[in-house]
Amino acid sequence: MTDLPPAIPAATLILMRERPGGPPEILMTERHSGMAFAAGALVFPGGRIDPADKAAAAAFADVPDAGARIAAIRETIEETGIAAGVAPTPSEETLAALRADLSENEPFTSLLARHGLKADLAALTPFARWKPNFRETRRFDTLFFLAEADEGAADPIAAEAEAVRAFWASAAAILAELEAGRDHAIFPTRRNLERLALFSSIAEARADAARHPVTMITPWVEERGGVPHVCIPEGLGYPVTAEPLETARRR
């Protein structure tokens, strides 16, 4: 498929928080319906890995995929106002000032230093890598990371330029809304939510990530029982590895 657009390097943060008596909740956003990619879909916070993220990675030579981790932290703050992978835990006032300053051209790690903070890249656990080859306007090569929200983290506030809402919910609750047709999500998001729904704690999610080293996933289409299915490899931790193409497109 040489006529496909080049894949854009990107990073996503699956930010989780423990809830008494129930499974962890996950930070999600709902994108504007007019966006060029994943319009109106539920997504984890994330975005492109900028050149400045790659440059800042030089200061973390011992951390794999440092540029991607920096991008995931930056994008989550920008899109939701929630900080993860930042030390010490910023006050609400500091976080609001940092988020406002992200519109400037100053590198993210320099902004952190100016506010008395630093990136804690070890707080992020590699979870997955997806590089779909569907004929979309934009195509991404995305690294997914797990992180735990600080205790007492404020409620998310969606960035108006990108999302109509940001919220916490369990993976099972999000999947129920998708199944009912009240929300929708693209194929990789749905598969990752199904995987996350298996875990009763953040520790379980991290242990699963350790059991399944990150392998790039590129879905393909094949016929099964005479019906085209979108498929991913077995053995990577995903409980659902195929879905009829018709429903995959509708979601």
Task: Give yes or no for residue 131 having a pLDDT over 80.
Answer: yes
Q: For residue 32, what pLDDT is reported?
A: 77
Q: For residue 66, what pLDDT is reported?
A: 98
Average pLDDT (180-184) is 92
Average pLDDT (159-164) is 83
Task: Give yes or no for residue 133 having a pLDDT over 60.
Answer: yes
Q: Are 79 and 163 in contact (CB under 8 A)?
A: yes
Taking the C-alpha atoms of residue 240 and residue 43, their distance in angstroms, rounded to an integer, is 18
Taking the C-alpha atoms of residue 199 and residue 238, their distance in angstroms, rounded to an integer, is 12
Q: Are 119 and 73 in contact (CB under 8 A)?
A: yes
Q: Which of 10-19, 60-69, 146-155, 230-239 is least confident? A: 146-155
Query: How crowded is residue 19: how many other Cβ atoms within 10 Å of its Cβ?
Result: 11
Q: Which of 3-12, 43-52, 200-209 is least confident? A: 3-12
Look at 105 and 245; give whichever has higher pLDDT: 245
In the predicted model, what is the mean pLDDT of the chain? 92
Q: Which residues contact 160 (CB under 8 A, 6 or more apart)?
A: none
CA 60 to chain centre: 21
Average pLDDT (151-159) is 83
Taking the C-alpha atoms of residue 100 and residue 122, their distance in angstroms, rounded to an integer, is 25
Backbone torsion region of residue 235, taken as left when φ is above 0, otherwise alpha when ψ lies between -120 and 50, otherwise beta: left
Q: For residue 1, what pLDDT is reported?
A: 45
Q: C-alpha distances in angstroms, 26 versus 65, 108, 162, 231?
A: 23, 24, 19, 25
Collapsed DSSP state (helix, strand, coil) of residue 31: strand
pTM (2 decimals)?
0.94
What residue ranges define each of the domains in the chain, with the CATH number in brackets? Answer: 8-219 (3.90.79.10)
